[in-house]
C-alpha cells in the first residue's frame, strides 16, 4: 500500500468515525453510571439522585468533576511508572474493543459506501477476544505497582477470574461461528438478517456468553474485585482521584462494549426484527441512523439487565465462582459446541 | 517508501528494542512487560505478511495467556534486588559463551538458506488467512494436528493431577 492510496477523504472518514465511537463510549458509560443509581433507587423504592439538573441528568458531570478535584495520592512505596500505566492500560483496552463492531447499516450513497465500522477485518470477533485477553494487564499491573498485599491479592483474584471465564466465552462463540461460517462481524450480522437471530438457535450459548460477560466486566454476582465490605476493596485500593475514576469508568465502557458485542453476535446487530427494513426505500442516511438506533436500543436493554442483576443477586464466594466457571460453565459450553456441530452436520448431510 | 516499508521499520525497531529491554531490565516485572511489547511487535509483522490469524492467536495465546501466568509467578515470588542471589563470575562467563555458541549456530544455519528466493510476500499472500489455514490443517496436516491436540490433552490431565489435593 502506498501513501497515495490513502486519500484525505478516507482519513477524514476514519478519524470522524473513531472520534464518534470514543465519544459515544464515554457518553453511554457516563449515563450508565446514572442509570445504575436510578435503577437502584427504583428497585429499592427511593428516588435516586435527583439534585443535579432536572431528574438528576447532570449527576455524571458532577461525579466526574468531584473525581478530578479530589486529592491525588501516589503511595511513596509504589512503583510510580507502573502505577500510572495500570489505569491507562485499563482505559485503552476498554476503548479499543469497539473498533470492529458494526454500529449500523452501511451508508450507500452515489459516491460510495461508508461503513459505520472502523475496520471490517477477516478476524473480526477474534480481535475483540485478543483485546479482552490483554485487558487483564491493567488490573495486574495496577495491583502489583501499588505495593500493597491486599491490592496484589485482589489483582490476582480479579485476573484469575477473567482468565477462567474467557474459556467458556470462546467456547460459546465457537458454536456461533459454526453457524455463520465467518469471523467477520459484518457477515455475522448479515447472516442473522437472512436466517434469523442467533439467540433463537443458540439460547444456551447466549446464556453462557452473557454470564461470562458479567464475569469479564467484574459485575455482580462476580464483582469480587470490588467487594469493599468483605474483601477490603480490590486491586484499586491505593488509587484515588481520577486514576480510580479511570478504573471504574473503564468498567462501564467494558459493559457498554460487551453489550454491543452480545447484541451483534446474538441479537441480530442492527437488524429490526420481523420486518424487512431494507425494502422500505428509506434514504440511505435515514436507514443507517434507524439501524444505529435499533442497535442502541438492544444495547440499552442489555445494560439494563446488567444493572437489574446487580441489584437483585448477592455476590458469589470465590470458590463458588471458580467452581461455577470450571466445573459447570466449561462442560456446558463444550456440550453446546458438540451439540451444535452434530446438528449442523446432520442438517448438511 | 511505501507504508508497508515504513511499518516494517517501525515494528522491527520496536521488536529489537523491547527484546533488548527484556534482557537488560533489572526488574523481572519490567522484563515481562517488555516481552509483551515484543509479542505485539511480532504480531504486527504477521499482519504485514497478511497472516492475520497467526497475529491474533499470537496475542491471545502468548501476550494474553502465557505472559499472564509469568506475571502471576513473578508477582507472587516478589523478586527484587535484595533477594536476588549473587551470581558467580564464572557463571556469567559460561552464560556468555553458551549464548554466543547459540548465536553462531543460528547465523550459520541462516547463512545457507535461500533467503533470496524465499522472500515473503508483503500484504498479498493468502496463506495466512483463516480459511486457507483451516483447510490445510484439516486435510494435509490432519494427523500431526490431532496428535498435537492429544499432547495438549495429556499435558492438561497431568497439570490437573499435579494440582489435585489427595
pLDDT tens-digit readout, A240-281: 888 888 888 899 999 999 999 999 999 988 888 887 777 777
Question: Quick check: is B55 in a domain?
Answer: yes
Question: Quick check: is B34 in a domain?
Answer: yes
Listed residues B61, B80, B99: the one ending a domain? B80
ipTM: 0.85
C-alpha torsion angle, residues A256, A259, A260, A266 (rounded to 10): 180
Contacts of B140 (CB under 8 A, 6+ apart): none
* Residue A131 backbone dihedrals phi, psi, to 5 degrees: -70, -40
In chain A, how many domains are there? 1
Using CA atoms, how far apart are residues A261 and A216, in angstroms rounded to an integer? 13
* Domain span at B72: 1-80
Q: What's the whole-model pTM score?
A: 0.88
The average confidence (pLDDT) of chain B is 84
pLDDT tens-digit readout, B99-141: 999 999 988 888 777 665 556 666 566 777 788 888 888 898 9
Using CA atoms, how far apart are residues A28 and A291, in angstroms rounded to an integer? 18
* Domain span at A237: 3-348
> Is the N-terminal amide bond of A95 cis, ω within 30° of 0?
no
Cβ within 8 Å, pair A130-B56: yes
Query: Long-range contacts made by residues A322-325, C-beta under 8 angstroms, separation at least 24?
Result: A322/A160, A322/A164, A325/A161, A325/A164, A325/A165, A325/A167, A325/A168, A325/A215
Report whether pLDDT(A4) > 60: no
pLDDT tens-digit readout, A78-125: 888 889 898 999 999 999 888 888 888 888 877 777 778 888 888 888
The alpha carbon of residue A123 is apart from the nearest alpha carbon of chain B, in Å, by 7
Chain A positions with Cβ closer than 8 Å to B: 1-3, 6, 79, 82, 121-123, 126-127, 129-130, 133-134, 136-137, 140-141, 144, 152, 155-156, 159-160, 163, 183
Question: Quick check: is B107 in a domain?
Answer: no
Give the helix/strand (H/E) hosting A97. Answer: none
Using CA atoms, how far apart are residues A287 and A277, in angstroms rounded to an integer? 8
Does B4 contact chain A (CB < 8 Å)?
yes
Model pLDDT, residue A116: 81
- B2 with B75, same domain? yes
Question: Quick check: is B95 in a domain?
Answer: no
DSSP character at residue A100:
G
Query: Grid coordinates representing A266?
Result: 446474538
Report whether pLDDT(A282) > 80: no
3-state helix, strand, coil in chain B (%, to 5): 75, 0, 25
Listed residues B50, B80, B110: the one ending a domain? B80
Contacts of A241 (CB under 8 A, 6+ apart): A67, A68, A70, A71, A72, A73
3-state helix, strand, coil in chain A (%, to 5): 70, 0, 30
Amino acid at each position: 500500500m502506498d501513501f497515495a492510496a490513502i486519500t484525505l477523504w478516507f482519513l477524514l472518514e476514519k478519524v470522524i468515525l473513531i472520534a464518534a465511537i470514543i465519544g459515544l463510549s464515554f457518553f453511554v458509560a457516563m449515563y450508565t453510571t446514572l442509570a445504575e443509581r436510578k435503577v437502584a433507587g427504583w428497585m429499592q423504592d427511593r428516588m435516586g439522585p435527583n439534585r443535579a439538573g432536572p431528574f438528576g441528568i447532570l449527576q455524571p458531570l458532577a461525579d466526574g468533576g468531584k473525581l478530578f478535584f479530589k486529592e491525588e495520592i501516589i503511595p511513596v512505596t509504589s512503583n510510580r511508572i507502573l502505577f500510572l500505566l495500570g489505569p491507562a492500560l485499563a482505559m485503552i483496552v476498554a476503548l479499543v474493543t469497539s473498533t470492529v463492531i458494526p454500529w449500523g447499516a452501511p451508508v450507500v450513497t452515489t459516491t460510495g459506501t461508508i461503513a459505520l465500522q472502523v475496520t471490517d477485518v477477516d478476524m473480526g470477533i477474534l480481535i475483540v477476544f485478543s483485546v479482552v485477553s490483554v485487558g487483564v494487564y491493567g488490573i495486574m499491573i495496577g495491583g502489583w505497582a501499588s505495593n500493597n498485599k491486599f491490592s496484589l491479592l485482589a489483582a490476582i483474584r480479579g485476573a484469575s477470574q477473567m482468565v477462567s471465564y474467557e474459556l467458556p466465552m470462546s467456547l460459546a462463540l465457537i458454536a456461533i461461528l459454526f453457524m455463520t461460517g465467518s469471523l467477520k462481524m459484518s457477515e455475522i450480522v448479515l447472516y442473522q438478517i437472512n436466517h434469523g437471530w442467533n439467540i433463537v438457535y443458540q439460547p444456551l450459548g447466549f446464556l453462557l456468553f452473557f454470564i461470562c460477560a458479567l464475569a469479564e466486566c467484574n459485575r455482580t454476582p462476580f464483582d469480587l474485585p470490588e467487594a469493599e465490605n468483605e474483601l477490603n476493596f480490590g486491586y484499586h485500593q491505593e488509587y484515588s482521584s481520577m486514576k480510580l475514576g479511570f478504573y471504574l469508568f473503564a468498567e462501564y465502557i467494558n459493559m457498554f462494549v460487551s453489550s454491543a458485542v452480545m447484541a451483534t453476535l446474538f441479537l441480530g446487530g442492527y437488524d429490526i426484527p420481523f420486518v424487512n427494513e431494507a425494502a422500505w426505500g428509506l434514504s440511505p442516511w435515514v436507514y443507517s441512523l434507524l439501524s444505529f438506533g435499533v442497535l442502541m436500543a438492544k444495547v440499552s436493554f442489555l445494560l439494563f439487565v446488567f444493572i437489574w442483576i446487580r441489584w437483585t443477586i448477592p455476590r458469589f464466594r470465590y470458590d463458588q465462582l471458580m467452581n461455577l466457571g470450571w466445573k459447570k460453565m466449561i462442560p456446558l459450553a463444550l456440550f453446546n459446541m458438540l451439540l451444535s456441530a452434530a446438528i449442523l452436520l446432520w442438517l448438511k448431510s | 517508501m511505501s507504508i508497508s516499508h515504513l511499518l516494517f521499520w517501525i515494528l522491527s525497531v520496536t521488536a529489537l528494542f523491547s527484546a533488548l529491554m527484556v534482557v537488560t531490565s533489572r526488574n523481572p516485572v519490567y522484563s515481562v512487560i517488555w516481552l509483551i511489547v515484543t509479542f505485539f511487535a511480532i504480531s504486527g509483522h504477521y499482519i504485514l505478511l497478511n497472516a492475520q490469524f497467526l497475529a491474533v492467536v499470537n496475542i491471545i495465546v502468548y501476550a494474553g495467556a502465557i505472559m499472564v501466568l509469568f506475571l502471576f509467578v513473578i508477582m507472587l515470588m516478589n523478586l527484587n534486588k535484595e533477594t536476588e542471589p549473587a551470581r558467580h563470575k564464572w557463571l556469567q562467563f559460561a552464560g556468555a559463551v553458551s549464548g554466543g555458541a547459540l548465536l553462531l549456530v543460528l547465523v550459520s544455519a541462516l547463512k545457507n538458506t535461500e533467503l533470496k528466493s524465499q522472500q515473503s510476500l508483503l500484504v498479498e499472500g493468502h496463506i495466512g488467512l483463516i480459511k486457507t489455514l483451516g483447510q490445510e490443517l484439516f486435510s494435509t496436516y490432519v494427523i500431526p494436528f490431532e496428535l498435537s491436540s492429544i499432547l495438549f490433552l495429556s499435558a492438561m490431565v497431568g497439570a490437573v493431577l499435579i494440582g489435585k489435593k489427595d
